[in-house]
Chains A and B, each alone.
Chain A
């Protein structure tokens, strides 16, 4: 037991260390960015800066040194009018030039999206948006996160099969705590006997969310993308949960949905109020899953960025005040960072717990009349 604690505390220490260092880096990157933006608009718009940071992008911005931006270019894949075009996002020259009749919109409703341009360089307002299947910053982050998952867990699995019936050691021991926690404290109590077939999905879900959350807390290259704070990603996860729930549902679940037992008949017969409520409930569950994760992670990022932004707002008034604020802001950011570490685990836990609860409810054989109407 002592060994486990030791490892966890070591990992926490490492994360905090990386995190506190990276806040400084983030600060520098910010200052560089604002410096660059100054000549353009001469106004520091922290709100825009924050939204840009938590949004997706076609290139991976690392930092700006002077006027040169250090970015990792990512491939752009467009499907437009039955034609697939693949090219490097560096062709857009950080959004300044058009390429092959496309450019990244810089303002308006479609800001940040790839739009068609006319020959004279203006945006083609009449054309539909091309289907953008680019490997964006978030997509790349997903790949990195999934790759990390694969590497870690396949190597651990190999260790398990190499020393069967031995006590776990090192990293394996640390993750075994989490795996056993998921199995014994989340999945088994909520699903019951037939929990085993849901384990692969729930374990993947938990570790994907957890690792993505942690990666999102690291402000530079391998991390930094706001993966689980992106609605598309949480939506996909919620839809997976919804699909698995629906497919593992037994007859009683559907009966419960259409003809809710234990409710007066007049709530069902002329106007099917209860069935409507139940169906709304079914849709609400994954919707809430989606919004909860998205909102929690995005909010955390916005707050941290807000604290960093404060430094530059005050720094613009007076350099001294800026330095003074930086102390407070960094302290708050570190506090928020620690809070976000907690949230990173908590949200992964909540998503997994609720998913397994829904699976458990749907796959229940016998009927329970009085429970789970107010789960959302």
Chain B
């Protein structure tokens, strides 16, 4: 019977000490432990989520990178195309300009040559005239050295000349 009869003293001490320890452990042990466990759980969950998100972002980044690269390539191609066109234009323009210049130069040269030729011809004509006069003078001087000859010439000239 003694075995199943609770003793007052034991009940008293048990209640008192258990409550005190419950309070102490609740405050200094269970609270920080449960909090730490919860925090850790949350941080693990958070990390896993963050990792997933990072993975997704990564794949998106790769995708957008590819897009960007493609765009850049396209842009480069377009630029190259434009540049080529501009170059061609410039070259063509330069060519026509050069041709025009050349033509102009040739034209002026031709003109110059013509002028020069004309001048030379005039000069030549004058020279020939002067020479002819000189020759004629010399011939005249020879032919009119005698009076007969002079008379003959005068007569001849008089004959040729028609008096009106």
Interface residues of A (CB under 8 A from B): 51, 54-56, 77, 109, 111-112, 131-136, 138-139, 142-143, 146, 149-150, 153-154, 156-158, 160-161, 164-165, 176, 179-180, 183, 196, 199-201, 203-204, 208, 230-233, 235-237, 240, 294, 298
On whether A204 and B8 interact (CB within 8 A), knowing A153-B29, A157-B29, the answer reads no
The reply to whether B10 and A111 form a contact with Cβ atoms under 8 Å apart is no
The reply to whether A150 and B21 form a contact with Cβ atoms under 8 Å apart is yes
The reply to whether A208 and B11 form a contact with Cβ atoms under 8 Å apart is no
Give Cα A299 to B8, complex, Å: 23
Give Cα A137 to B43, complex, Å: 46
Nearest chain A CB to B89's CB is how many angstroms away?
Answer: 68
- Within 1-41 of B, Cβ neighbours of A (below 8 Å) are at 1-15, 17-18, 20-22, 24-26, 28-34, 36-37, 39-40
- 30 pairs across A/B with beta carbons < 8 Å? A54-B3, A134-B9, A136-B9, A136-B10, A138-B10, A146-B17, A146-B18, A146-B21, A150-B29, A153-B25, A153-B29, A153-B30, A153-B33, A154-B29, A156-B29, A157-B28, A160-B33, A160-B36, A160-B37, A164-B39, A164-B40, A165-B43, A183-B34, A201-B26, A232-B14, A235-B6, A235-B11, A236-B14, A236-B15, A237-B18
Which of A51, A56, A233, A240 is most buried by chain B, counting CB atoms within 10 A of its CB? A233
Give Cα A139 to B17, complex, Å: 9
Which residues of chain A are near B31, meaning CB under 8 Å?
157, 200
Q: How large is the interface on B (under 10, 10 to 19, 20 to 34, 35 or more residues)?
A: 35 or more
Q: Which residue of B lies closest to A294 (CB)?
A: B4
Instruction: Find A55's partner among B3, B9, B32 (CB 8 Å cutoff).
Output: B3
Nearest chain B CB to A177's CB is how many angstroms away?
Answer: 12
Nearest chain A CB to B34's CB is how many angstroms away?
Answer: 6
Which residues of chain A are near B36, meaning CB under 8 Å?
157, 160-161, 164
Q: Which residue of B lies closest to A208 (CB)?
A: B18
Which residues of chain A are near B21, meaning CB under 8 Å?
146, 149-150, 204, 208
Instruction: Find B32's partner among A157, A203, A236 (CB 8 Å cutoff).
Output: A157
Q: Which residue of A lies closest to B29 (CB)?
A: A153
Which residues of chain B are near A51, meaning CB under 8 Å?
2-3
Give Cα A203 to B9, complex, Å: 25
Give Cα A164 to B39, complex, Å: 8
On whether A111 and B2 interact (CB within 8 A), knowing A131-B8, A157-B32, the answer reads yes
Give Cα A215 to B12, complex, Å: 21
Nearest chain A CB to B17's CB is how many angstroms away?
Answer: 6
The reply to whether B25 and A149 form a contact with Cβ atoms under 8 Å apart is yes
Give Cα A160 to B31, complex, Å: 11
The reply to whether A204 and B22 form a contact with Cβ atoms under 8 Å apart is yes
The reply to whether B3 and A298 form a contact with Cβ atoms under 8 Å apart is yes
Instruction: Find B10's partner among A165, A176, A230 (CB 8 Å cutoff).
Output: A230
Q: List 12 additional A-B contacts (Cβ < 8 Å) besides A157-B32, A160-B33, A232-B7.
A: A55-B2, A133-B12, A142-B14, A161-B36, A165-B39, A176-B37, A199-B34, A201-B22, A231-B6, A232-B10, A233-B14, A237-B18
Nearest chain A CB to B18's CB is how many angstroms away?
Answer: 7
Q: Which residue of A lies closest to B20 (CB)?
A: A146
The reply to whether B2 and A112 form a contact with Cβ atoms under 8 Å apart is yes
The reply to whether B25 and A150 form a contact with Cβ atoms under 8 Å apart is yes
Nearest chain B CB to A208's CB is how many angstroms away?
Answer: 7
Give Cα A232 to B7, complex, Å: 6
On whether A200 and B25 interact (CB within 8 A), knowing A160-B32, A165-B40, the answer reads yes
